[in-house]
Amino acid sequence: MRIRPIAEDSYLRLIRTARRMEPATCWIKGANVLNVYTREWLTAHVVLAGERIAYVGDAEPIVDERTQIIEGEGYWLVPGYIEPHAHPFQWYTFDSLTDFALATGTTTLVSDTLHLTTSLSLEQVEAILQQLTNHPVKQFFWARLDPQIRLAKQSEAFQKDGLARLLAHPLVLQGGEITDWTGFLAENEEILFGMKHARDVGKRIEGHHPGASASTLAVAAAAGITACHESITAEEVQNRLRLGMYATLRHSSIRPDLPELLAGMKRLGIPFHSSRLMLTSDGSTPPMLRHGFTDYLIKLAIDAGVPDVDAYAMATVNPAQYYGLDAEIGGIAPGRIADILFLRSPHEPTPEKVIANGELWAEGKKLLRQTPKINWSDYRFPQPKERLPLVNEEWFQFPEISPDEPYPLIQMENAVITRVVYERLECDETGRINFDAHPDLAQIVTIDPESGKRSQAIVRGFAVNLQALASSYTVSTDMIVIGREPKAMKQALERVLELGGGIVAMEEGQICFEQELALAGKMSDESMAELIESGEAFVRFMRAKGYRYLDPIYSLFFFQATHLPYVRMTAEGLYDVKKSVVIKKSAPLFE
């Protein structure tokens, strides 16, 4: 398929430029060019005709006064990078992520749509997808087949008609990622329909199988899953490859695994030149992006001993082939769209110049001009204040418990994995938990305005002596409040509602951290540079409060994510994922 349409006159000009009958629009003279198809560096001229590459080789093109001539000597040219698995909702929007990606050399994104489909109608989702094609970064998407949370009422995007509609969209290249494996095993009708239909219409399916056995992966492959980005050991990479899947190697803010994976692959003899290996940052939060984007992953791979030609292939031609786009992108070759990066060394993947669609868009990690933006005010995201006009301090008064009976606690194992443990807790004279005796404990309250319910639990390991932290930034549409002081918890949530969504921390009646996230409660229209600064400030605040895991932003996000083990907060209450039972029931918001 054509990623970007080509008019008849442009098509004819492309052919005539290749035949040296018409002048080139751009001539890159005598650069070191990576041929990703043969995995070699060649000295060559690269000749453009508008958006596309007309010729790569020794012959000089015809030029005229309008031909842009770029001296290629001293540069190493590689294709624009492809991120095959983006989550453009981690405080940043599609706009800020694509601008950041473009400046650092990523010219194609394949992105999640989850927080669009859970917040907007399908008509609005489709309008946004179409608007995003105006950006110089080429953008494709995947259709979620499950919402990765427990919903009282399934939205239209996860019903059969909605699934079929999104999967039919030409910009949607795959279904997934499949996070509700329990639902699949229970033969959930919508999930099985979505998986079968995705393959019926020629789309890929992304799995989500961290730690899965070879037998589980075999079932996934039989069901139509074609790739998985969740390998956490080299053996898991090998299992996926042996089953015919593509293995996407991840390095993210909660799973910075790439160097370890590559070392293990080398030990097992897994060839780095395999065409079925890709790289992903898997929705890293802003602080991680201080290092870069896809360019950072390639650098890590090269530093880990992957031959440079293979490292670049993992981020260019391999994902292009996987998605059936390699006739258009992924290489510097005739007929391809001219996405070309200028490097000063094959071992330094951050480009000095970025050409996308035949135009110079960035130099020195700075965009040269404004890119088209989404007018987010055209879209009606649910407004937190409308959904929850009143906050009651009683929601944050923890109920009386018996000091003689073990009480269920959420025990944090790492940034996102939680377990339930039962302990006897010291109480005060009112029969409530004496938090002074347990500085590492905090109350966690999730509020679901749609169901009119609140769930309460105790969490250990998130922070020490945290008075109040409120957030609309969650995997669900709920709001979450964590703390030890009911009044401060109320104030923090009220401030989140005033902002229209965000994260707010309160101490002694004062705001000590605040980040507005007014788009769906998940995203800000600030630049990536601003969000990196703010994200780092949040991490510093949480470290000062005793948080000791990799990423507090993702910890907040995933407390309700029932695709992760082992205990989660849901509208029904504290939920045991493995047993599919509610441990502690929720209560109504209003009696």
pLDDT tens, position by position, 86-107: 999 999 999 999 999 999 999 9
CA distance 237 to 248: 8
CA quadruple 364, 366, 371, 374: dihedral sign: positive
| Numbers of helices and strands, H then E, in the chain | 17, 29
- Which residues does the chain have with pLDDT short of 70? 151-154
CA distance 281 to 186: 31
pLDDT score, position 153: 59
- For residue 216, the tally of other CB atoms under 10 A from its CB is 15
Nearest 5°: phi and psi at 229?
A: -105, 10
Q: Terminus-to-terminus CA distance in the chain, angstroms?
A: 57
pLDDT score, position 46: 99
**From the candidate CATH numbers 3.10.20.600, 3.50.50.60, 2.130.10.10, 3.20.20.140, the one assigned to the domain spanning 79-324:** 3.20.20.140
pLDDT score, position 42: 99
Give buried/exposed letters for 198-210 (b at 16+ CB in 10 A, else e).
bbeeebbbbbbbb
**CA-to-CA separations, 194 to 84, 126, 167, in angstroms, rounded:** 20, 18, 8
**DSSP string computed for 37-57:** TTTEEEEEEEEEETTEEEEEE
Contact 132/169 with Cβ under 8 angstroms?
no
CATH 3.20.20.140 domain extents, the chain: 79-324
pLDDT score, position 148: 85
Which residues, at least 6 apart from 359, have a Cβ–Cβ distance to it below 8 Å? 51, 136
Nearest C-alpha neighbor of 295 from the set 346, 247, 336, 244: 346
pLDDT score, position 151: 67
The crossing angle, in degrees rounded to 10, of helices 294-303 and 258-268 is 40
